[in-house]
A and B are shown apart, each in its own frame.
Chain A
Amino acid sequence: MGADSAPRAHRVIGRALRKVDAVAKVTGATKFADDLSLPRMLYAKLLRSPHPHARLVRLDPSGALALPGVQAILTGRDLPTPFGILPVSQDEHALALDRVRFVGDPVAAVAAVSEDVAIAALDRIAVEYEPLPAITSAEEAVQRAAPRIHDYGDGGNLHKLIHLEFGDVEEGFREADLVVEDLLFYEGSTHLPMEQHAALADWSPDGRLTLWSSTQTPHYVHRALAKVLGLAPSRIRVIACPNGGGFGGKSDPFSHEIVVAKLAMVTGRPVKITLTREEVFYCHRGRHPTLMWVKTGVKRDGSITAMHFKSLLDGGGYGSYGVASTYYTGALQTVTYQVPRYKFQGARAFTNKPPCGPKRGHGTPQPRFALEVHLDKIAERLGMDPAELRLRHLVLPHTLTANYLRVGSMGLGRCIQQVVEGSGWREKFRRLPYGRGVGLACSSYLSGAGLPIYWNNMPHSGVQLKLDRGGGVTVFCGSTDIGQGSDSILAYITAEVLGVDPLDVRVVTADTDLTPVDLGSYSSRVTLMSGNAVLQAAERARDLLRGPAAQRLGVPPQQLVFADGRVFDAADPGRGLSFAEAVELAEAAGGTVGTVGSYTPPAAAGRYRGAGVGPSPAYSYTAAVAEVEVDPETGVVTVPRIWIAHDVGQCINRAAVVGQIEGSVYMGLGEALMEEMAYRANRNVVHRAPSMLEYKSPTTLEMCDVITYLIEDPDPNGPFGAKEVGQGPLLPVPPAIANAVYDAVGVRVDEVPITPEKVLKAIKAKAKGESGRVGPTRFPEIPWPEPIRVPPPWAGGDGQAISGEARRPAEFKTRKSDLSAVGGGGS
């Protein structure tokens, strides 16, 4: 279908094929984690803290144990080893040892013959808490060093403090014709995957554990299970089921995964847990609420002389990915427009709320919102068109940024031109009637993090390929399909290289027993990294088949073409073999036919502390124009249409690329206008709306039209030139909408979500002659450490710091006390 209209440089790559799992998904045959059950299976439930911050004084499970049908109960003492996704933040326990740090923190687990019995048992577990004062916001955490939520970090309730300086920004501000400061806030939001997290564990008496889970990162779950359960990794098998949506929310090793594993070991029976929707809101790990201050100096032509960016992240009760998230709020400001001098200060606070972590765009949508709104204001002050300002000062392809990120292919200029032209920007900007407006914003995102989460020098993605005598090919890869189509990418690339039909390729993924490690579905890494691994494996397989086939056909090996299920002579296409025959010849000549492939990203250019967050093999680029209608009577913002252009390098499946872009626009629209993880600070810090009805997300009635343009600027590091598309296109949407609201009614809502109340408040203020701005008013004083100073490449820098490195970061210093602290409470 549709093949003839596709670009024909490749046979498979770039076409809009069905995904390999499409039929299973439309027939209901796909088995998600909660669809699995095993004979004699027990059901687990978690007892969760009703307190945001408390000492666990006493826990008595005897009443629950007496309930018929209850098979086992676990408490913190059964799983005393801490864990966490980052080596520097091993601050979680599967069940609280003696402290709870947010409403929803698990304290005990039950396995019973039915979910009903397990729920009834929870009510019979007696728990005595000694409530502690709760820290409810990042600002409060900055102010109040006690009680400390954790006994590690960079002091008081500040988990992480970062201070990096690339060149002398003060000098840059002095050189500028205009210096502009802005304060913006990006509210926290959650992934809201349609599938609630679920996990099923099975323990065999021979000492082997199997866990099926809705996880995006089976390899990291594997490691966490080995650590907490004290089992050899070789005895643990983690299988990631297809995820019913992830968006980053299934990227941490979770309490419930460890708990069902332990319960299976204790009871000798399979144990399953499925979180309720309310529990998903609390276990979360979503977007960090982030307060930002930005100061930029520009020349009259819009060129940036220096930028200084500060962020304060509300991290919630645990570390999660937070250290990385904090770095990410300062990392990618430099990869879109030329920033010759750059300074970043980032802080993450612990608060008594559900921990935040990575959500689509991980730590970058917040600063991107701030930067793109800030640039819109700067353009206005300079009397420049905001599209023109951006176009004039783009980062050049194949260059290093001030903070040593290596930009490869860079299609942002084409993206901007495309949405400007497509949207009729020049006829609309500042020209539409009151109440209607357009706004523009751009962005960039990683095609995979350059460094793994735990230090090692092994590949980030591995593939094994098995070729069958019948002509079938099986790809084994640890990557996890969360709906983005990563399984299909493996099949398409294999089929392209070996000249077979994608349906002749069977894909086995996300099984730590069967598949080589792939680090997981996060940081938009899978197409580039597993794609390169499978490309290498498939090319090696092609080389294995070449010799025996060439010998049989009597043609030089390099003259053979692999296409259409055949291996044939390029000079005489009629002279050939079927692919299956070629496999048979190779097997006869050299034995069983299989290959491996792997991928390791290039080394980062930066060599300062903190240089590990931001590097990527390739950066995607996006530009968007949003059109809005604002009702000045109600403040309601509606978005009829968004034009978006994305530089994806090279599409592997064009339909899937368009789907990722439309889905990103959707999620950006939700964050821009309605989604918010809000808590009742004065009512025990409970979530204001932990349900799908009250947590507002766009339905069909709110979703805007999306006009998608694909820009293909192939990157030398991507398989066939491919870059990411799963996350980047979300980023420009909130700032484009904010800028469009200003264009429509002349008010600035410098925070998301842009709710009707805020818009109305700003409109009313403006009518009274006030500023017409709603947003944060103050960035708190934070005890920043001395900066790590790194001269930019153009100032003679070599990527190393010239000062500030002597100060060893606190997490290494306090590592030991960290462990004892989580055990011992502290404060």
Chain B
Amino acid sequence: MVQPKVTIRFEVNGEPVEAAFASHKTLLEVLREDLGLTGTKHGCELGECGTCTVLLDGVPVLSCLVLAAACGGRRVRTVEGLARGPELHPLQRAFADLGAAQCGYCTPGFLLAAEALLAANPRPSREDIEQALAGNLCRCTGYHKIYQAVELAAAWMRGETAEPDTEVLYGRG
């Protein structure tokens, strides 16, 4: 069962990449299996959980539903492309500081969905965040620390010197 391969050139995390793969492969599979970018996870491979979210030309997509062969000439951004060199992206920093990643499996998808939100809306309301992340399931956190991390990162990205809310970190009582 040697399957014919297609070759595409595209940009992944700012670098030009050429990849050859069986034509039926999804972007998720090519990222993980052909390019070794295992930071992008899979939870269902049916477009139901949001775990495999990446940015395609800046737009969040479910990489399990995108045919990789259709990505020629396009820009893909994955969790591996969020940090600038050794410096974490503000969203990554906020997720780490607030404990917004528990098991961490859904985290890459949330980070990219949030990155797209903040690119379009630097000052999102809580409801905007809930709407933007409604397609990403998380079974660990109950979502609140994720909202708070997005809000904190948004403030940092606007150049504000925000601190984590102590009630978020310490609860009450």
| B173 close to A (CB within 8 Å) | yes
CA distance A16 to B43 in the complex (A): 29
What is the chain A residue whose CB lies nearest that of B102? A483
Please choose the segment from B4-12, B68-76, B105-113 that sits at the chain A interface, where 4 or more of its residues have CB less than 8 A away.
B105-113
Q: Which residues of B contact A653 (CB under 8 A)?
A: 99
- Report the Cα distance A246→B103, complex, angstroms: 9
Question: 0/1 per residue, B141-154, Cβ < 8 Å to A?
Answer: 11111010000000
> Are B105 and A32 in contact (CB-based, < 8 A)?
yes
B104 at the interface (CB under 8 A from A): yes
Question: Which of A287-295, A378-386, A656-664, A815-823 lies on the face that meets chain B?
Answer: A656-664
The one of B41, B96, B105, B143 that contacts A18, using a Cβ cutoff of 8 Å: B96
Interface 0/1 of B85-119, CB less than 8 Å to A: 00010011101111101111111100100000000
Contact between B137 and A194 (Cβ–Cβ < 8 Å)?
yes
When the two chains form their complex, are residues A23 and B96 in contact, meaning their CB atoms are under 8 A apart?
A: yes
The size class of the interface chain B forms with chain A is 35 or more
Q: B99 is contacted by which of A31, A277, A656 (Cβ under 8 Å)?
A: A656
Q: When chains A and B are docked, how far (Å) is the Cα of A691 from the Cα of B173? A: 40
B61 at the interface (CB under 8 A from A): no
**With A28-B80, A195-B103, A485-B102 known to touch, is A117 a contact of B1 (CB < 8 Å)?**
yes
Cβ–Cβ contact A242 & B104, under 8 A: yes
Choose one: A16, A277, A483, A709; the contact of B104 (CB below 8 Å): A483
User: Judging by beta carbons under 8 Å apart, are A18 and B97 in contact?
Assistant: yes
**Segment from A173-181, A509-517, A574-582, A694-702 that makes contact with B:** A694-702
**B171 touches A (CB below 8 Å):** yes
Complexed CA–CA distance, A30 and B80 (Å):
11
Q: Is the CB of A276 within 8 A of B45?
A: yes
Which B33-49 residues sit within 8 Å CB-CB of chain A? Answer: 37-46, 48-49
- Residues A25 and B173 in contact, CB atoms below 8 Å apart: no
Question: Which residues in B have their C-beta under 8 angstroms from that of A32?
Answer: 41, 105
B120: A residues at CB distance < 8 A: none
Interchain CB contact under 8 A, B140 and A483: yes
Check A697–B145 contact: CB distance below 8 A. Answer: no
Most chain A CB within 10 A, of B48, B101, B133, is at: B101
Min C-beta distance of B27 to chain A, whole Å: 15
Smallest Cβ distance from B45 to chain A, in angstroms?
7
Cα–Cα, bound, A195→B51 (Å): 9
Q: Does A682 contact B (CB under 8 A)?
A: no
- Chain A 229-266 interface residues, beta-carbon cutoff 8 Å to B: 242-247
Measured CA separation A686–B127 after assembly (Å): 38
Are B144 and A28 in contact, CB atoms less than 8 angstroms apart?
no
CB pair B103 A22 closer than 8 Å: no
- Report chain B residues within 8 Å CB of A656: 99
Q: When the two chains form their complex, are residues B170 and A28 in contact, meaning their CB atoms are under 8 A apart? A: no
Q: Shortest CB–CB separation between residue A39 and chain B, in angstroms?
A: 13
Q: Encode A17-55 as 1/0 by CB contact (under 8 A) with B.
A: 011011111111111101100000000000000000000
Q: Is A692 part of the contact surface with B, judged by Cβ < 8 Å?
A: yes
Per-residue CB contact flags for chain B residues 51-63 toward chain A (1 = under 8 Å, else 0) read 1000000000000
Q: Which residues of A contact B129 (CB under 8 A)?
A: 700
| Residue A484 at the chain B interface, CB threshold 8 Å | yes
Q: Is A693 an interface residue (CB 8 A)?
A: yes
In the complex formed, the residue of B with least CB distance to A653 is B99
CB distance from B88 to the nearest CB of A (A): 7
Residue A826, interface by CB 8 Å: no
Question: B173, A645: Cβ atoms under 8 Å?
Answer: yes
The answer to whether residues A662 and B145 also contact, given A244-B103, A482-B103 and a CB cut-off of 8 A, is yes
Give bound CA distance, A18 to B145, whole Å.
13
Q: Which of A1-9, A364-372, A432-440 interfaces with chain B?
A: A1-9
Q: In the complex the two chains form, is A710's CB within 8 Å of B164's CB?
A: no
Asked whether, in the complex, the Cβ of B97 is within 8 Å of the Cβ of A709, the reply is no
CB-contact partner of B170 in A25, A196, A655, under 8 A: A655
Specify which chain A residues have a CB less than 8 angstroms from the CB of B42 in the assembled complex. 34, 196
Binary flags per residue of A655-698, CB closer than 8 Å to B gives 1, else 0: 11111011111110000000000000000000000011100010
Q: Given A27-B80, A31-B38, A195–B105 Cβ distance below 8 Å?
A: yes
Most chain A Cβ neighbours within 10 Å, of B44, B103, B140:
B103
Number of A-B contacts defined by CB within 8 Å: 219
Task: List the B side residues contacting A28 at CB < 8 Å.
Answer: 37-40, 78-80, 107-108
User: Is the Cβ of A699 less than 8 Å from the Cβ of B137?
Assistant: yes
Check B166–A703 contact: CB distance below 8 A: no
Given the complex of chains A and B, what is the CA–CA distance between A26 and B101 in angstroms? 7
Interface contact B43-A692, CB-CB below 8 Å: yes
Q: Judging by beta carbons under 8 Å apart, are B80 and A6 in contact? A: no
Do residues B99 and A194 form an inter-chain contact, with CB atoms below 8 A? no
Among B78, B104, B168, B171, which residue has its beta carbon within 8 angstroms of that of A21? B104
- CB neighbours (8 Å) of A667 from chain B are 139, 142
A196 to B88, CA, bound (A): 28
Could you tell me the distance between the alpha carbons of A661 and B141 in the complex, rounded to whole angstroms?
Answer: 9
- The answer to the question of A120 belonging to the interface, with a C-beta cut-off of 8 Å to chain B, is yes
Cβ-defined contact, B137 with A710, below 8 A: no
B-facing mask of A112-150, CB < 8 A → 1, else 0?
Answer: 001011001000000000000000000000000000000
Q: Is A71 an interface residue (CB 8 A)?
A: no
The listed residue (B44, B104, B142, B166) touching A244 by CB distance below 8 A is: B104
Whether B170 lies near A16 (C-beta < 8 A) is yes
Chain A residues whose C-beta falls within 8 Å of the C-beta of B147 in the assembled complex: 700
Task: Indicate if the CB atoms of B103 and A709 lie closer than 8 Å.
Answer: no
| Chain B, Cβ-Cβ closest to A67 | B1
Evaluate contact between B138 and A194: CB separation under 8 angstroms. Answer: yes
Instruction: Decide if B173 touches A654 in the complex (CB within 8 Å).
Output: no
Closest to A69 in B: B1
Q: Are A659 and B102 in contact (CB under 8 A)?
A: yes
Structural contact, B134 and A700, CB atoms closer than 8 A: yes
Q: Which residues of A contact B107 (CB under 8 A)?
A: 25-26, 28
CB nearest neighbor in B for A421: B173
Q: How far is the CA of A692 from the CA of B137 in the complex (A)?
A: 9
Which of B39, B48, B163, B172 is the one whose CB lies under 8 Å from A692? B48
Contacts of A664 in B (CB 8 A): 142
B82 at the interface (CB under 8 A from A): yes
- Bound complex: CA A659 to CA B144 (Å): 9
Complex Cα distance A120/B1, Å? 10
Contacts of B136 in A (CB 8 A): 700
Cross-chain contact B170 with A6 (CB below 8 angstroms): yes
Considering the chains assembled together, what is the distance between the CA atoms of A136 and B68 in angstroms? 43
Instruction: Indicate whether B20 reaches chain A with its CB closer than 8 angstroms.
Output: no
Residue numbers in B under 8 Å from A30 (CB-CB): 104
B44, B45, B111, B163 interface centre (most CB from chain A within 10 Å): B44
A27-B80, A659-B102, A699-B134 given; name 7 further pairs at CB < 8 Å: A16-B170, A26-B96, A26-B104, A28-B38, A277-B43, A422-B172, A663-B141
A-B contact pairs, 30 of them (CB 8 A): A2-B163, A26-B96, A30-B104, A68-B1, A116-B3, A191-B139, A193-B103, A193-B105, A195-B43, A242-B103, A245-B103, A277-B44, A418-B173, A482-B103, A485-B102, A655-B169, A658-B171, A662-B142, A663-B102, A663-B140, A666-B141, A692-B43, A692-B48, A692-B49, A700-B131, A700-B136, A703-B142, A707-B172, A710-B171, A710-B173
List the 8 shortest-distance A-B pairs measured between CB atoms, nearest first. A28-B39, A483-B103, A25-B104, A244-B105, A709-B173, A666-B142, A662-B142, A28-B79
